[in-house]
C-alpha cells in the first residue's frame, strides 16, 4: 500500500508550505488528508457550532489551495496538537504527518515547531518538514533524493528509492545544494517503529535547504502506483 499522509494545517503561511510538501508526496503516489486541531469546546452551543464551522472552512481553504476538493479533512478536538494528530493518524492508519517549519524560520531553512518536535521525540509516525517558503518553489521537480542513516537502516534507503522512482529522481547518499528531498533514519538504538533523532541528524536538518522526511526506526514507506 502506498504511504498515507496527513498535513497539519492551520492557515498560516508556514502551514501552506506543509500543503506544498503534502502535494509533492501525493504526486509521488501518496494518499493525502488535511487536519486541524481545536483545543477546547465552547460552552455555548452557538459559539461551538461557529468554531467548528470556522475550522472546517479553514480546511476547505487548504483543499482549495491544493486544487483537491475531495481531499479528506479532519477537525480534531484535543488539548495537545501533537497528541491529537497522533491519535488521528493511528485511527486512520496514517504513515506520515507533514508540518511547516516554525514561525519566523528564515526562508529556505527547516526548523521543526513544538508539535513536530514532540513527535520527533519517540513518536510512532514518520514526520515530514517543509522549509520556510517552500510554497513558492513547490512547482520545481525533484532530481535527487538523499538517504541518510547512521547505521544503514534499510528502511531509509528503501523509502528514498521508492520516492525517487515515483518522482523520476536519483537516490544519493549525501545531501547537497541540489538535493530535492532528504530521507533521514532514526538514531541507532531507537525502538523499532519509533522516531528519535541523533544530534548529528538534528544538525543536518538545521543545515538543509529542502524538505526532510524522518522515519521511525526499521520502517520503510512505499510510494508510486505500484505501492
pLDDT along the chain (227 residues), means of 10: 93 94 95 94 84 93 94 95 96 97 94 96 97 86 92 91 96 89 95 95 94 96 73
For strands 212-214 and 126-130, give the pairing: antiparallel
Quote the cell numbers at residue 125: 509516525
CB-CB contact of 163 with 28 (8 Å): yes
pLDDT at position 153 is: 86
pLDDT at position 227 is: 37
pLDDT at position 101 is: 97
CB-CB contact of 33 with 7 (8 Å): yes
For the whole model, what pTM was predicted?
A: 0.94
Amino acid at each position: 500500500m502506498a504511504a498515507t499522509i496527513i498535513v497539519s494545517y492551520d492557515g498560516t503561511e508556514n502551514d501552506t508550505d506543509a500543503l506544498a510538501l503534502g502535494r509533492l508526496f501525493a504526486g509521488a503516489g501518496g494518499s493525502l488528508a488535511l487536519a486541524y486541531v481545536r483545543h477546547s469546546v465552547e460552552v455555548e452551543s452557538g459559539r461551538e457550532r461557529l468554531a467548528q464551522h470556522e475550522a472546517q472552512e479553514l480546511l476547505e481553504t487548504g483543499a482549495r489551495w491544493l486544487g483537491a476538493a475531495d481531499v479528506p479533512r479532519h477537525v480534531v478536538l484535543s488539548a495537545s496538537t501533537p497528541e491529537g494528530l497522533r491519535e488521528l493518524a493511528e485511527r486512520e492508519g496514517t504513515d506520515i504527518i507533514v508540518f511547516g517549519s516554525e514561525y519566523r524560520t528564515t526562508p529556505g531553512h527547516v526548523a521543526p515547531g513544538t508539535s513536530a518536535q514532540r513527535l520527533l521525540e519517540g513518536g510512532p509516525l514518520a514526520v515530514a518538514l517543509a522549509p520556510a517558503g517552500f510554497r513558492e518553489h513547490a512547482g520545481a521537480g525533484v532530481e535527487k533524493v538523499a538517504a541518510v542513516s547512521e547505521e544503514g537502516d534499510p528502511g531509509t534507503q528503501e523509502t528514498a528509492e521508492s520516492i525517487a522512482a515515483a518522482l523520476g529522481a536519483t537516490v544519493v547518499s549525501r545531501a547537497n545544494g541540489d538535493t530535492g528531498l532528504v530521507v533521514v533514519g532514526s538514531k541507532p538504538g531507537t525502538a523499532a517503529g519509533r522516531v528519535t533523532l541523533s544530534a548529528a541528524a538534528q544538525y543536518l536538518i538545521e543545515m538543509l535547504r529542502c524538505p526532510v522526511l524522518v522515519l521511525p526506526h526499521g520502517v520503510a514507506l512505499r510510494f508510486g502506483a505500484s505501492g
